[in-house]
Amino acid sequence: MLDHPSGAGSEGDFRVDFDPRVRLEFHGSKISSDGGLLLFRELDKTLGLHDLAGRSLRDTRTGKNGIHNFVGLLRQSTFGRLAGYPDVNDADRLSRDPVMRQIVGGRAVDNQAASTSQMARFETDILASDHNRDALADLPGQWIDAMHDAQPPKWITLDMDSSVSPTHGDQEGTAWNGHFGCKCYHPLFVFNQFSDLECCALRKGNVHSADGYKEVLAPVIARYKTLDLLRFFRADAAFAIPELYKTLEAEGYFYAIRLKGNAVLQEAISHILKRPVVCPTNYVRRVYHDFEYRAASWEKARRVIAKVEWHPGDLFPRVGFVVTNLPMEPDWIIRFYNQRGTAEQHIKEGKYAINWTRLSCKRFRDNEVRLQLHALAYNLGSFLQRADLPEEVADWSLTSIQSRLIKIGARVVRHARKITFQLAEVAVSGHVFWQILTAIRALKPPPRPA
C-alpha cells in the first residue's frame, strides 16, 4: 500500500501562531479534495460509459508490462478534467490522490495512478492515432445513446454553434480571427436540449463559422435516423445554407435558422416598419409577420418569420428574420428559436468549468484529442444533471457541481477487506449525497434484447 511520505511524519508538521494547539499535517495519499468524483465513477459504472470507450478505442502499446490498463488511463484523463485539471500537468500529484487512484482502479488503488509523463504519452501518442481520434469523436454520441437507453427522449432538438478557443503560443492550426479579435482555434459544437454535447470538432482559427458542418452534423443525424421521435434543429445566420435546409427537410427535421436581412426581406415587411404613432415607454412592442421567400440560390420558396421590436427610447426598430419549415404560429417559432441561446450557455460551462479552451499542445491532432477528452468530461457532468436529483442540487450548473459537489474533502481509511472514504459535510450533507447516489443507480438502463 502506498504511503506518500510528504507530510506523513514530524518533518511535515506545521504550527500556527494564533493557536499553539493547532498543528497542520499533509497526507497526500490519504486525503483528497475531490471526494465527489466517486459519485461520477458510480454514474460511469451504471451507464457503462468507459466500457463503451474501451471497446471503441485501440490500445497500441506493444509491451506486456504496462502498469495501468487502457480504460484506467482514459478514466484518469476524463475524471481529471471533470474535477478542474485541464491537462496532464497535475498528473503527478493526482497519481497519489486516493480518490483518483480508486477511479483509475487496478494497480493504482494500492500504488499510484499514472504520472505526468505516462499521461502525456497516452494522450499525445496512443489517443492521437488516426483510429483513436475518429473513435474519440464518436464517443460523445455513444455515451448519449447509453443515457437515452436509461431515459428515452420523446423528441430531440439539436443546436449547432461555433466558439472561440484563444491560443497563446505557436500551436499548429492557430490563426488570427477578425471576428473574435485574437489568435485562436474555432471549434464547432452540436448540443441537444438536455445540454449534452452530441459532437464537436476542432478547426483552424480562420475558418468560417459553418465550415465543416457536414462532418459534425452527419453522424448525429445518422444516430437518430431510425428512432421514432420528433426532430428539431436551430442555428444562427452563419448556418443559413440552402444545402443544409435540403438535408434537414430530407431527414425529417423541423428547423428554425436565422437569416441575415437584405433589401428584399426588408421590402416584404415594409408595412410593419412604420413607426407607431404612440411609441412604448415602459414595454417592448413586438410585431410578427410570416411570408414565402425564395432567395436566388434556393431551389424553392420557404417560410420566413419576421420579428419587429420597438424598444422604449429607440428611434428605429430591431428586426430579425428566421427561415423555418415549422407549421406553428410566428410568435411560437420565434420563442423556439430564441431558446438556442442555451447552447451559448453550455459553451460557457465548458469553458469555465471544464476549461476546454486549454489546448496548448504543439500538434493540431494532440489538441483535437484534448478537445474530445474535455467533451467526455463535460457529458459526464451533464448526465448527472439529468438524474432525478434532490431539490437542493437539481438546479446547480456544471460550475456549481464542480465547486460544491466534486470538491468535497475526503479521507481514506483502509482495512484488509474494506476501503472507507470519510467525506466532509459542508456544501452537501450525507443525506443529500445518498439521494444523489440513489438517483444515479436509478439510471441503470434495462438490458438490451439479445
Q: What are 71's three cell numbers?
A: 480504460
Same domain (yes/no): 125, 30: yes
pLDDT recorded at residue 11: 52
Same domain (yes/no): 304, 397: no
Specify the length of the chain in residues. 450
With respect to residue 138, please indicate whether it lies within any of the assigned structural domains: no
> Which of 312 and 99 is assigned the larger pLDDT?
99
Number of domains observed in the structure of the chain? 2
DSSP string, 340-377: THHHHHHHHHIIIII-TT----SSHHHHHHHHHHHHHH
Same domain (yes/no): 398, 327: no
Same domain (yes/no): 386, 326: no
Same domain (yes/no): 121, 44: yes
> Model confidence at 62, in pLDDT bands (50, 70, 90)?
confident
Task: Choose one of 305, 339, 373: the last residue of a domain.
Answer: 339
With respect to residue 258, please indicate whether it lies within any of the assigned structural domains: yes
Structural domain boundaries, residue 267: 237-339
> Which of 25 and 149 is assigned the larger pLDDT?
149
With respect to residue 171, please indicate whether it lies within any of the assigned structural domains: no
Distance CA 354, CA 16 (A): 35
Burial of 223-241, coded b for 16+ CB within 10 Å and e otherwise, reads bbeeeeeebbbbbbbbbbe
pLDDT recorded at residue 315: 82
With respect to residue 398, please indicate whether it lies within any of the assigned structural domains: yes
Helix (H) or strand (E) holding 42: helix 37-47
Residue 202 has pLDDT above 70, yes or no: yes
Same domain (yes/no): 407, 313: no
With respect to residue 13, please indicate whether it lies within any of the assigned structural domains: no
| pLDDT digit string, tens, across residues 205-258 | 999 999 999 999 999 999 999 999 999 999 999 999 999 999 999 999 999 999
Q: Supply the mean pLDDT for the chain.
A: 92
pTM of the entire structure? Answer: 0.92
With respect to residue 48, please indicate whether it lies within any of the assigned structural domains: yes
- The answer to whether 290 touches 330, Cβ cutoff 8 Å, is yes
| pLDDT digit string, tens, across residues 394-431 | 999 999 999 999 999 999 998 888 999 999 998 899 99
Residue 9 has pLDDT above 60, yes or no: no
| pLDDT digit string, tens, across residues 113-130 | 999 999 999 999 999 999
